[in-house]
Copies of this chain bind each other. A is one copy, B any other.
Amino acid sequence: MKVILAGFGTIGQGIVKILKAKDNFIKKKFDEGFEIVGVSDSKGAVYDSRGLDLDLLLKIKHEKGTIKSYPDAKILDSNRDLIDEDADVLIEVTPTDIRKNSVGMSNLLRAFKTGKHVVTSNKAPLALNFKGLKKEAIKNGCLFYYDATVGGATPIISTAREILDSVNIESFQGILNGTCNYILSRMTEEEAPFDLILREAQQLGYAEADPTYDVDGIDTACKLVILANSIMEANATFKDVKVKGIREITEDAIKLAKRDGKVIKLIGEIDCKKLEVSPRLVPEGHLLDVSGNFNVGLFRTDFAGEIAVGGIGAGQMETASTIFRNLIKILRSKHGIRGMA
């Protein structure tokens, strides 16, 4: 199966590493593997219908900072030209960008127009126009998987769709941003103020230099929109979410909560199709009480009660493992193979 990889940053390189590591696993299961035929990064794109060498891709990227100097491949000027080349699947992992005409949005639409299945971790296009993208995918007979947009390695979307498909999901609450959860957990452990812990998180690489996107709840809101649309049949976009971040959480608030056997968490909630992101009190030992950079999704169902799924919310190999899972689903579809069980 021929694959084009748009975006060759942390996640893109993680995918190549997993494809290398899982080569035998795939071929044993399907008598067919994945062939990366095209790759783009911010500097350019290369394509070779015979397949690119995975080790060489990683080496050139590492040494030169771009895959443009990959030898003997067709050099292309744009993602659009790359996506127009022959392939079965586009993996879209360019940096997420909340603007309407982002690279990610154009890539996804072009892939569907040219009949390619899509696997993506790119949140923003889905938070802006989930319905439109889904429609394009269906119109062109393409599979469209985006599990990696929410939760990193945490299988929140797939648990809802594959495990909870025989019950009714009545509401959802989740911790969907590892940076905020890390900051709140550290504030609780250290009884230290927000600014201090934010600086610590920035030094450790757990928070961006500009932390707005995370700490003001925007990232959580984007993920909530994707969840509402994909698992609860809402028709929501980013502007439908009521959002409050964690900047105003004080040491005192955390101490008071602790005295009462509670912790403060940034919770994204979907209830009766109302979407809200806000700091909430959670009892210690509750299914939502996970600390550090973990994510968790909690579904309230009609007959199964509360079901929670937790895992690592970001990270190169963790997010890439979810992309890989979706790739395997595409192979399964092609071969008409159902799950193992």
A positions within 8 Å CB-CB of B:
18, 21-22, 145, 153-155, 157-159, 161-167, 185, 189, 261, 263, 284-287, 289-292, 294, 301-312, 315, 317-318, 320-322, 324-325, 328-329, 332-333, 338-341
A299 to chain B, nearest CB (A): 9
Contact (Cβ within 8 A) B285 A263? yes
Residue of B nearest to A261 (CB): B189
A79 to B194, CA, bound (A): 65
Say which residue of B155, B261, B289 sits within 8 Å of A163 (CB atoms).
B155
Say which residue of B21, B285, B302, B312 sits within 8 Å of A185 (CB atoms).
B285
A261 to B263, CA, bound (A): 14
Q: A162-B339, A166-B325, A341-B161 are in contact. Are A155 and B307 (CB under 8 A)?
A: yes
A108 to B295, CA, bound (A): 40
A166 to B261, CA, bound (A): 39
Residue of B nearest to A157 (CB): B341
Contacts of A145 in B (CB 8 A): 341
Contacts of A315 in B (CB 8 A): 305
Contact (Cβ within 8 A) A340 B161? yes
User: Quick one: copies of this chain in the complex?
Assistant: 2
A171 to chain B, nearest CB (A): 15
Contact (Cβ within 8 A) A312 B306? yes
Q: A166-B328, A341-B158 are in contact. Are A304 and B291 (CB under 8 A)?
A: no
Contacts of A21 in B (CB 8 A): 302-303
A22 to B166, CA, bound (A): 9
Contact (Cβ within 8 A) A162 B340? yes
A305 to B306, CA, bound (A): 23
Residue of B nearest to A18 (CB): B303
Contact (Cβ within 8 A) B307 A310? yes
Contacts of A310 in B (CB 8 A): 287, 307-310
Contact (Cβ within 8 A) B340 A153? no
Say which residue of B159, B284, B305 sits within 8 Å of A318 (CB atoms).
B305
Contacts of A324 in B (CB 8 A): 166, 303
Contacts of A338 in B (CB 8 A): 332-333, 338
Contact (Cβ within 8 A) B166 A163? no
Say which residue of B290, B318, B340 sits within 8 Å of A285 (CB atoms).
B290
Contacts of A294 in B (CB 8 A): 287
A286 to B263, CA, bound (A): 13
Contact (Cβ within 8 A) B304 A307? no
Contact (Cβ within 8 A) B303 A159? no
Q: A159-B155, A285-B292, A289-B289 are in contact. Are A318 and B304 (CB under 8 A)?
A: yes
A324 to B310, CA, bound (A): 24
Contacts of A304 in B (CB 8 A): 153, 311-312, 317-318, 321-322
Query: Of A165, A310, A312, A320, which is in contact with the most chain B CB atoms at under 10 Å from its CB?
Result: A310
Residue of B nearest to A159 (CB): B163
